[in-house]
């Protein structure tokens, strides 16, 4: 097959930028060749970013306009994602998951939905954060089956609190269904998290946020994630949800392979707006994060989600010296691909992998080209 495109520059290979070029043929990377001398002014060629936790983007959300959300994400450098749903009553949540997954199968362009992430409803009300407490559910296999139906409805990840009664049976059932378990929105002790994780085949949802913190006498879920008890931990990169020092601590503890850079973005992200409406609530954006504003229910703004996509957050992390370019791009591409068991097909530049590729230029990491399955998305 003849090459459709040849991209030359600094290729992100195994966490390092190396000089060379790659050929794109159809929807695949046909060849990767490393040669020449490293030129710091040459464009960066990187895998497309993969967001494991995102509720909306570009004015769209999974339930109202998944295709529009995917198109906006691709233009921002994210080429694959897990549309993430808020809690709801099990039967209704199952219907929502089914609707989103059917929409995903019908989309022909833009970022690709790889499955559905359910953030709840089996989480701790005391650690609900911005999730609607009235729609949470007690862990039970029966409720899970009401959500999954007969075919799983595209559900790929479920966030749950391991300390809740019934969570052990729920975790076992999820693993039997080949659905990833992520521990979060939880007040679990270190011991409770360890007992739930068992063989370690669990992840952690947005490290540090809405979880029992590290303390020198009680490690909590955060400590369990930092010490390698989970396979990988999500981490939000807007530097509001997680400060620079905590981000550096997580990187020192887990390295790039143990962390997945997520956005946890809401529909207003990527629009440039100051206010937006989503999930039945008003939001205001400040410093790259979305908040529920002051109201009769609260006397101070409540942090709700991010207003930044992965690449925009990555730029900020690099500019602040929290991450190197190589670290950030790896945490946003290869690490999430590994977490989904898809590293042979996505998240890396290798012959035979899908041609989901970014071309970035200059110190500001300007996005000059996005290929999704070999086709331009800009």
| H or E segment to which residue 181 belongs | strand 180-183
pLDDT more than 70, % of the chain: 98
pTM: predicted TM-score of the whole model, two decimal places: 0.96
pLDDT value, residue 378: 87
pLDDT of 2 > 60? The answer is no
**pLDDT band of 357, cuts 50, 70, 90:** very high
Asked whether this chain's domains 1-46+347-378 and 49-343 adopt the same fold, the reply is no
Query: Alpha helix locations (H) across the chain?
Result: 62-75, 90-106, 141-148, 167-176, 190-197, 220-226, 244-254, 310-319, 325-331, 334-339
pLDDT in tens, 211-245: 999 999 999 999 999 999 999 999 999 999 999 99
Give the residue extent of every domain in the chain.
1-46+347-378, 49-343
pLDDT of 338 > 60? The answer is yes
The dihedral formed by the CA atoms of 27, 101, 53 and 137, expressed in degrees to the nearest 10: -160
Out of 264, 274, 296, 299, pick the active-site residue. 264
The dihedral formed by the CA atoms of 60, 61, 66 and 71, expressed in degrees to the nearest 10: 40
| DSSP, residue by residue, 26-94 | TTEEEEEEE-S---TTSPEEEEPEEEEEES-BTTB-HHHHHHHHHHHHHHTTEEEEEEEE----HHHHH
**pLDDT band of 62, cuts 50, 70, 90:** very high
Told to judge if 264 belongs to the known catalytic residues of this protein, a careful annotator would answer yes
What is the C-alpha to C-alpha distance for residues 94 and 108, in angstroms, rounded to an integer? 24
| H or E segment to which residue 16 belongs | strand 16-25
Whole-number Cα distances in Å, 28 to 24, 276, 344: 6, 38, 12
What is the C-alpha to C-alpha distance for residues 377 and 370, in angstroms, rounded to an integer? 5
Tell which phi-psi region holds residue 239, choosing left (phi > 0), alpha (psi between -120 and 50) or beta.
Answer: left
Average pLDDT, the chain: 95
- What the block records as the tokens of 202 is 């669990």
What is the C-alpha to C-alpha distance for residues 55 and 325, in angstroms, rounded to an integer? 25
Quickly name the fold that domain 49-343 has.
TIM Barrel (3.20.20)
Q: Does domain 1-46+347-378 have CATH number 2.30.40.10?
A: yes
pLDDT in tens, 105-139: 999 889 999 999 999 999 999 999 999 999 999 99
**pLDDT band of 1, cuts 50, 70, 90:** very low
**pLDDT band of 3, cuts 50, 70, 90:** low
pLDDT in tens, 138-172: 999 999 999 999 999 999 999 999 999 999 999 99
pLDDT value, residue 236: 98
pLDDT value, residue 296: 62
pLDDT value, residue 52: 98
Taking each helix axis from N to C end, the angle separating 141-148 and 90-106, rounded to the nearest 10 degrees, works out to 30
Sequence-distant (6+) residues with CB within 8 A of 330 are 12, 15, 256, 257
pLDDT value, residue 10: 97
pLDDT value, residue 172: 95
Q: What is the mean pLDDT of residues 314-337?
A: 98
């Amino acid at each position: 097959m003849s090459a459709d495109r040849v991209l030359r520059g600094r290729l992100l290979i195994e966490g390092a930028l190396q000089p060379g070029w790659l050929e794109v043929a159809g929807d695949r990377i046909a060849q990767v060749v490393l040669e020449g001398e490293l030129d710091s002014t040459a464009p960066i060629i990187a895998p497309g970013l993969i967001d494991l936790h995102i509720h909306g983007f570009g004015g769209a959300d999974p339930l109202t306009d998944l295709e529009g959300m995917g198109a906006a994400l691709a233009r921002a450098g994210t080429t694959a994602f897990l549309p993430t749903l808020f809690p709801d009553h099990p039967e209704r949540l199952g219907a929502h998951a089914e609707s989103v997954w059917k929409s995903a199968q019908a989309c022909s362009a833009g970022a690709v939905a790889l499955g559905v992430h359910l953030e709840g409803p089996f989480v701790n009300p005391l650690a609900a954060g911005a999730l609607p407490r009235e729609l949470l559910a007690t862990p039970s296999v029966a409720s899970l089956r009401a959500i999954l139906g007969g075919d799983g409805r595209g559900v790929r990840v479920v966030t749950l609190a391991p300390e809740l009664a019934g969570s052990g049976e729920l975790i076992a059932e999820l693993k039997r269904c080949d659905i990833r378990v992520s521990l979060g929105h939880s007040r679990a002790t270190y011991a409770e998290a360890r007992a739930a994780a068992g063989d370690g085949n669990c992840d952690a949802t947005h490290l540090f946020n809405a979880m029992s913190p590290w303390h020198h006498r009680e490690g909590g879920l955060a400590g369990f994630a930092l010490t390698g008890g989970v396979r990988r931990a999500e981490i939000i990169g807007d530097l509001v949800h997680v400060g620079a020092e905590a981000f550096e601590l997580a990187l020192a503890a887990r390295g790039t392979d143990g962390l997945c850079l997520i956005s946890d973005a809401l529909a207003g992200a990527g629009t440039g707006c100051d206010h937006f409406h989503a999930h039945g609530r008003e939001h205001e954006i400040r410093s790259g994060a979305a908040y529920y504003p002051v109201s009769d229910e609260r006397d101070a703004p409540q942090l709700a989600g991010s207003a930044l996509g992965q690449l925009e957050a990555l730029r900020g992390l690099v500019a602040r010296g929290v991450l190197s370019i190589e670290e950030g791009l790896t945490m946003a591409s290869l690490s999430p691909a590994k977490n989904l068991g898809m590293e042979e097909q996505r998240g890396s530049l290798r012959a035979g992998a899908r041609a989901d590729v970014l071309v970035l230029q200059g110190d500001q990491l300007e996005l000059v080209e996005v290929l999704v399955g070999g086709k331009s998305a800009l």
